[in-house]
Amino acid sequence: MRIIIIGGNGTIGKTIAGALQNEHEIIAAGRNAGDYSIDLNSRASIAAFYEKIQHFDALVCSAGPAHLAPIQELKEEHVRIGLEGKLLGQINLVLMGQQYINKGGSFTLTSGILAEEPIRQGVAATTVDGAINAFVKAAAAELTNDVRINVVAPGVIEASPHLHKFFPGHIPVSMNAVCAAYLKSILGVANGQVIRAY
């Protein structure tokens, strides 16, 4: 399969690429690194990326920023970081990618544990993660040509110790468990699912 990994040089993206690269063609893309450049905050950048790539079998997005701050300090521009990059960026990957994805292909987006288990300072991130989950459930009912769509919702991962302090009482998730969730979406038959890795 020809598999696009947005965020392919990030912590999660590199692990997914490593698990797939022996049997599939991997195209890594990101804002600052990868085979191709793409900015999820820009519709023009996403359109230009697809024009270069053309047809593909699977797309995985493991990129997307979110802002952590107490609600007393939260401002609209902080919320927009996640809304425009993580939410709208991933939605546009699907909306614009429909014309390029091959029959029977799949989209795999990323949300997170915060959609269901909020933390202090996580209001903006929880809002975005919940919206991504809702989009995927609705989009699965309307995508045509046997195209599937799922979302992986990781917990805080072992490989990101700088985030552990924000998740008291949470057991960090191994990269193997997170990677397995993505592989289930890419290689399996799930559709419209929130695949939890926590």
The C-alpha atoms of residue 126 and residue 156 are separated, in whole angstroms, by 13
Q: What is the pLDDT of residues 146-198, one digit of tens each?
A: 999 999 999 999 999 999 999 999 999 999 999 999 999 999 999 999 999 99
3-state secondary structure of 84: helix
- Amino acid 66: pLDDT: 87
pTM of the model: 0.96
Which H or E run includes 135? helix 123-139
The number of distinct structural domains making up the chain is 1
In sequence order, what are the beta bridge partners of 151?
Answer: 109, 194
Range of the domain at 84: 2-197
Residues in the chain predicted with pLDDT less than 50, given as ranges, are none
CATH of the domain at 41: 3.40.50.720
